[in-house]
C-alpha cells in the first residue's frame, strides 16, 4: 500500500515540478544573462496571477485569462529593470546592492497589492478536468496541461538559445558581457528581451501556481519563490535544463514528504535539498555559480 502512495505522490510531484520549473526557467535565464538575483521575481508572479484573476472575473473566456498573466508579468518586469534597477545600476552598485533593491521593490509590490486586495485571499476557480491514468500514475487533465506547458517552455527556450543567432548572442552575453558587446551584440536590446521573456515566464508561473493551489493572496508569490530560487540555484544559474531537473527533484521531494511526513514539512523538504547541496557542494562545476561580479541590467 505504501508503494501506491509513493507512486501517487511522485505523480503529484511531477505536476508540482512543472509548476516550479516554469518559474525557475524564467528566473535562471534572467540570472544567467544579467547576473542579478531578482528577489522581486515572486512578486511579479503574484502580479501576473492577480491580472488573470481580474480578467477571469470579466468573463472574456479562457484565452484572455491565460494571456493576461504573462503579458502583465512581462510589462512589470521590463518596467522594473528599465526604471528602478537602471537607476541604481548607474550608480555603480554591485550585485548585492541591486539584490537589496529588488527586495525593496518586492516588498513595495507585495504590500501595495495587499492594500489593494484588502488583505484578502481570493479563490481561483479552474476546472481540473477528468482523471487520466498513465501507467502507475494518476493525473488530471489540468496537471497534464501544466506538465505540457513546462515541456513546451523548455523546448522553446532550448531551441531559441541553441538554434538561433539571438540565442547565441544571449549565451555570449551571459558568459562575458564586455567581449559580447565588443563583438557587436546589441546589449540593450538583448537585456530588455531577457527581462520581457523572464517576466512573461514569471507571470505564467504565477497563473500556473494558482491553478494548482486555487487561492491567491498578495503574499503567495514569495512562498512559491522559495522553491523557484532553490531550483534555480540547485540547477546552476543560467541553465534551463538544470532548472528543470532541479525542479523535478524538489517537486517530487516536496510531494513525497507531504504524503509520508506530514504536509507541514513539504516546502521545507525542498529547502533541505538546497541546504544539503550547499553543505556538500563541490567547489567547482555546476554549483559554483557565476564568477563574474558585474551586473548588467
Partner 1 sequence: MSFYLSTIAVYFCVDLLAAWALNMQFGWAGIPNFAFILTQAAGAYMYAVVALGPSGGLTAFQHYILGASLPFPLPLLVAAGAGGVVALALGLITLRPLRRDYQAAVFLLFAVIASDVVSADVGLFNGSNGLAAVPQPFSSLQTTLGLGGYQWLYAGFTAVICLGGLSLVRGLGGSGWQRALRAARDDEAGARALGVNPAVLRLQVFFIGGMLAGLSGGLLVGFISAWSPGAWEYSETFAILTGIILGGVSNNWGVFVGTFLVQIAFQELTALFLPQIGYPGLSDALVWVVIGVLWLLVIYFRPRGILPERRTRMSTLQPSTSPEMSDAD
Is 22 one of the binding residues for partner 1 (CB under 8 A)?
A: no
Q: Applying CB under 8 A, does 258 fall inside the site for partner 1?
A: no
Residue 175 binds partner 1, judged by CB under 8 A: no
Q: Exposed, middle or buried, 121 (CB in 10 Å: 0-12/13-18/19+)?
A: exposed
Residues that contact partner 1, how many (by CB under 8 A): 48
Q: Residue 37 Cβ, how far from partner 1 at the closest point, in Å?
A: 5
Task: Indicate whether 45 belongs to the interface with partner 1 (CB under 8 A).
Answer: no
Instruction: Report if residue 279 touches partner 1, rule: CB under 8 A.
Output: yes
Smallest distance from partner 1 to CB 2, Å? 23
Question: Is residue 156 near partner 1 by the rule CB under 8 A?
Answer: no
Which of 2, 3, 125, 283 contacts partner 1 by CB under 8 A? 283
SS (H, E, C) the chain: CHHHHHHHHHHHHHHHHHHHHHHHHHHHHHHHHHCCCCCCHHHHHHHHHHHHHHHHHCCCCHHHHHHHHHHHHHHHHHHHHHHHHHHHHHCCCCHHHHHHHHHHHHHHHHHHHHHHCCCCCEECCCCCCCEEEECCEEEEHHHHHHHHHHHHHHHHHHHHHHHCHHHHHHHHHHHCHHHHHHCCCCHHHHHHHHHHHHHHHHHHHHHHHHHHHCEECCCHHHHHHHHHHHHHHHHCCCCHHHHHHHHHHHHHHHHHHHHHHCHHHHHHHHHHHHHHHHHHCCCCHHHCCCCCCCCCC
Residue 273 makes contact with partner 1 by CB under 8 A = no
Site for partner 1 in 69-128 (CB under 8 A): 84, 87-88, 91, 93, 95-101, 103-105, 107-108, 110-112, 114-115, 118-119
Binds partner 1 by CB under 8 A, chosen from 39, 169, 180, 249: 39
- Comparing CB distances to partner 1, the nearer of 66 and 80 is 80
Name the minimum Å distance from CB 275 to partner 1: 5
Q: Interface with partner 1 includes 230 (CB under 8 A)? A: yes
Residue 120: CB atoms within 10 A of its CB come to 10
Residue 259 binds to partner 1 (criterion: CB under 8 A): no
By CB under 8 A, residue 265 contacts partner 1:
yes
Q: Give residues in contact with partner 1 (CB under 8 A).
A: 36-37, 39, 84, 87-88, 91, 93, 95-101, 103-105, 107-108, 110-112, 114-115, 118-119, 222-223, 226, 229-230, 233, 262-265, 267-268, 271, 274-275, 278-279, 281, 283, 289-290
Amino acid at each position: 500500500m505504501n508503494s501506491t502512495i509513493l507512486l501517487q505522490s511522485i505523480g503529484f510531484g511531477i505536476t508540482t515540478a512543472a509548476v516550479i520549473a516554469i518559474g525557475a526557467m524564467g528566473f535562471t535565464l534572467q540570472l544567467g544573462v544579467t547576473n542579478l538575483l531578482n528577489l522581486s521575481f515572486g512578486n511579479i508572479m503574484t502580479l501576473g496571477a492577480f491580472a488573470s484573476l481580474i480578467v477571469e472575473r470579466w468573463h472574456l473566456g479562457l484565452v484572455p485569462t491565460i494571456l493576461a498573466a504573462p503579458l502583465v508579468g512581462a510589462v512589470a518586469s521590463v518596467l522594473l529593470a528599465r526604471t528602478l534597477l537602471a537607476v541604481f545600476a548607474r550608480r555603480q552598485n554591485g550585485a548585492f546592492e541591486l539584490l537589496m533593491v529588488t527586495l525593496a521593490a518586492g516588498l513595495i509590490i507585495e504590500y501595495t497589492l495587499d492594500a489593494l486586495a484588502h488583505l484578502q485571499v481570493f479563490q481561483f476557480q479552474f476546472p481540473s478536468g477528468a482523471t487520466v491514468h498513465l501507467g502507475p500514475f494518476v493525473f488530471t487533465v489540468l496537471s497534464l496541461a501544466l506538465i505540457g506547458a513546462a515541456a513546451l517552455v523548455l523546448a522553446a527556450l532550448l531551441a531559441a538559445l541553441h538554434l538561433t543567432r539571438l540565442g547565441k548572442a544571449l549565451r555570449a552575453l551571459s558568459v562575458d558581457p564586455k567581449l559580447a558587446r565588443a563583438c557587436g551584440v546589441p546589449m540593450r536590446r538583448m537585456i530588455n528581451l531577457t527581462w520581457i521573456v523572464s517576466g512573461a515566464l514569471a507571470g505564467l508561473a504565477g497563473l500556473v501556481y494558482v491553478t494548482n493551489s486555487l487561492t491567491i493572496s498578495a503574499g503567495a508569490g514569495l512562498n512559491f519563490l522559495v522553491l523557484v530560487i532553490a531550483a534555480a540555484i540547485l540547477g546552476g544559474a543560467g541553465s534551463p535544463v538544470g532548472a528543470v531537473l532541479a525542479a523535478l527533484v524538489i517537486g517530487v521531494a516536496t510531494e513525497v514528504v507531504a504524503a509520508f511526513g506530514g504536509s507541514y514539512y513539504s516546502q521545507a523538504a525542498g529547502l533541505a535539498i538546497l541546504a544539503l547541496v550547499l553543505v556538500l557542494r563541490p567547489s567547482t562545476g555546476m554549483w559554483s555559480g557565476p564568477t563574474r561580479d558585474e551586473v548588467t541590467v
